Structure 1
Amino acid sequence: MPLEASPGSGLRRTRLYLRDGSFQVVLSYSVKGENVFYLSAERGAEQEIIPVKLVDLDKTREWERRGEAQRNGTPAVQIDPELAKEEADRAARSPEVAKDLRLPDESSVLMLDTYQGQPQLAVLQQTDGELNRQQAHNILRQTINPMAHAHQLVEIKGQTAPVQLHVADPEIYVRMDDDDAEPTRGGAFQVDTDGNRGRKVESPSPKSEYVIVRVDVRRDVRIVTSFSIGLLGGAKRQADVVETTRTLMPGGHWLKIVPKEPLSFGEYALMEVIDAKTVNTGVWDFGVRPSAGPNRDAILPEVRHAPKLAPRRSQP
């Protein structure tokens, strides 16, 4: 049975918060060097050890101050606004999009899929048909003449995309790059079609629109065809173009994109519309095929458990 704290014992139940957001109920604790020593209220008051790097001491001490204020009948100490802001920003960088499934704190484009009843995040890679596939968000500008007939914008090798979704109504998440995000291979570059390469872009713009284009599958290639940017948002539907709604998520680190209509079986490309005349020909290709197998490198739900803590054993 866990030991109850008794009056006069000098022990009082409190919370030892961990950096993953969970906590341990303890009777006392002390920091010594790189470790925290504590008496567990849930495991017979045995002394246990945990590395200090796993412990959120600021949150632990804040909890203690609030508890002490309540016992003394004084107003509770207010949480430090800066600390609260940091906590909110940390959560916004890696928000939960399904039960136990969080977006990673890195530059990427992901699609929320469901495979065999389990929510998963499929990782999309960008391609323009020539560049190596990569997770980085590159911008390759191309102007579309509104008076021109439909023509080829991008030719992608292969008849099927590496990522095949199992649902018709996926949610898409695009990271809005910032200085604190974990880097991925490559970087964000803007490339004009006249060959002016190498101008660094600070971040993808949340003002960009995104459309999902159904590609024309031919022998060993998939073709992304041009469309009328001026008709987007209007009453007239364009063949092979699925419009989307976009929402900048709290904190401004992620853009959520949802198709306005279900996606039927087939091959698609997510395309960024930069302005009224310009698109990004670096696209993210995927397919919709409910019978497909699992996607490689998909991010799976992860239940956050408190670390297993070993009792400290006395030295002989």
Structure 2
Amino acid sequence: MRTLLHLALIVVLAASCAWAQARSKRLILKDGSFQPATKWEIKGDRVRYYSAERYMWEELPTSLVDWPATEQYEKDAASGKVRGNDPADAPDPSLDAPEPEPPTVAPGLQLPDASGIYLLERYNKQPRLVEVVQNGSEINQQRAKNILRSVINPLPSGPTQTVELRGVKAEVQSHTLTPEFFVNLNFDPNDERAGEPLPPGTDRYRIIRLQTKPKEKVRIVSNLKISLLGKVKEQRDLVPTRSEQLDKHWTRIVPLQPLEPGEYALVEMVSDKQMNLYVWDFGVDPKAPPNRQAWSPKQVESTETGTKDNPFLNTRKKD
């Protein structure tokens, strides 16, 4: 009897999944691919849809959706020009379409076909593209300082902690006061470390000015003030930035004003108030030596009829 109940439950679940697939629609994207969805809603500059494949809510920028093609597909499905809304009924156009080339960020400089965060600067009046490596920060509980504060000020107050990076200078130094950042990272909202979804209009990546402490040989990312009730208040020196979605992979981030020479970090906000402790640190120093791993436009060999080579990224040789 129990086996029959299990079989019946499996049949019901399979039927419900097939019903959801049959009633799915399509969000057709500008690159030719599509996302099967049972429903969607637009919130600000993002569209929130319920995936017919993964059975969960997902989001993507509205600028990536080909709305005329999406509406035309819905009309064709309603008039019977397509057999149904099941994604298996029609071939995926993205299978035949070639993958678009990564964006070109400067003459002769193209972003690599790989994930990561890259900094665009100028050295000796030439554009340079440098990969910024993620660096793990640590929390310093400031035990000695908190004990001293309790002696001087006997009034009830919570402890102070700091989020720190080791070393006083980042490996990557921008010679430009207005560097540009290009981000291509996959964010998994189902990761237990992801925290709460960010409110609409909130930038996921931000620039923070770091406080350098040469004596301790650390850089302060943020200060944490913990009340006696356990409430955490974080203080950061945020730099105003602007984000631009270049395509479905790449995001461009630029500061709204020139950065003063010093140490900085590009941080990921996993929620409106929580920050990933692994950051991408960099510095701004026009007098710094050239970055060791930097891509620059290749010098094209000229001929009588034109050129032999096309510009592409080439890694600068190590000194």
TM-score by length of 2: 0.48
* Higher RCO structure (Cα 8 Å, ≥6 apart): 1
Q: TM-score, normalised by structure 1?
A: 0.49
Higher helix share: 2
